[in-house]
Amino acid sequence: MFPTIASIPASVLYCLSAFLIFKQLDSQTQNRRLALTPALVAMILHALVLNHLIYHPAGLNLGFFVAFSLISWLISVQILLCCIFRRIESLGIAVFPMSALAGMFTIFHFSDPVLISGDSSLQGHIMVSVVAYSLIMLGAIQAGVLAFQDYSIRTHNPGGFIRYLPPMHDMEILLFQFLGFGFVCLSASLLTGFLFLEDIFAQHLVHKTALSIVAWFILAVLLFCRFQFGWRGKTAIRWTLSAFAFLMLAYFGSKLVLEFIL
């Protein structure tokens, strides 16, 4: 009952925050605090719902929709924290409604709870993996926005939504900050997987492990070439989206098959 009671106002507040950010884009007097406060309250309610859904005496519930809700919450939190240092609240126009939708999915019980039992080290590995996915997914969103910004500038049409984004240089710095932290977390996830899982290449894990390693390798090459050769622009965007595609296939693709198809 509690997830339903808290998820509905959280979703409404997420959408309200996205609407207020959108309405202030053309306003001469922007009130960032007013626009972001509903999202902050929504994140608190969302966190309470996730705590109720995930933690069970028998283990962690990280079914498909619960995991999606957790990752969307982490992305929203990261955007809110970044807004303290950079004016990137316009990203909330796309991300906050996604969190609202993800929060609503969890209350409809499309699938049974997927309980993951194990000791604290295994649960720690799982949570580090989720943080890595959220950071790289946020990097993919950032890469998509950057691609649109680059296209608009190249076609000499830098109006509309583009006017309210930070300069491309700042957007690229932010992208590689997300990817850098995501790479560290993904490395920790793979390392703890090898240490704490009995067989990381077991039949039900081999696809997830192999695809995650491919994503890790793509990110490693991208970050190395960024600092060694100054990769940027379309090249960085393509490599970022490629790493994201492999990682999402590894996590959500395998969960979709195991929970809904098999």
Residues of the chain with pLDDT under 50: none
3-class DSSP state for residue 115?
A: strand
Amino acid in the structure at residue 156: H
CA-nearest of 233, 219, 156, 164 to 187 is: 219
Task: Report residue 49 as tokens.
Answer: 């719902």
Confirm if 29 and 220 have CB atoms less than 8 A apart. Answer: no
**pLDDT tens digits for 80-89?**
998 888 888 8
pLDDT of residue 244: 92
pLDDT of residue 160: 62
pLDDT of residue 173: 87
pLDDT of residue 94: 84
Q: Distance between alpha carbon 90 and the CA centroid of its chain, in Å?
A: 16
pLDDT of residue 202: 58
CA-nearest of 192, 59, 204 to 118 is: 59
Confirm if 226 and 236 have CB atoms less than 8 A apart. Answer: yes
Amino acid in the structure at residue 48: L
**pLDDT tens digits for 3-12?**
667 889 999 9
CA-nearest of 114, 115, 103, 113 to 3 is: 103
pLDDT of residue 254: 60
Confirm if 50 and 73 have CB atoms less than 8 A apart. Answer: yes
Q: What is the pTM of this model?
A: 0.82
Phi/psi region, residue 109 (left: phi>0; alpha: psi -120 to 50; beta: rest), is left
Q: Distance between alpha carbon 126 and the CA centroid of its chain, in Å?
A: 15
- Residue 169 contacts by C-beta under 8 Å, 6 or more apart in sequence? none
pLDDT of residue 215: 94
pLDDT of residue 33: 87
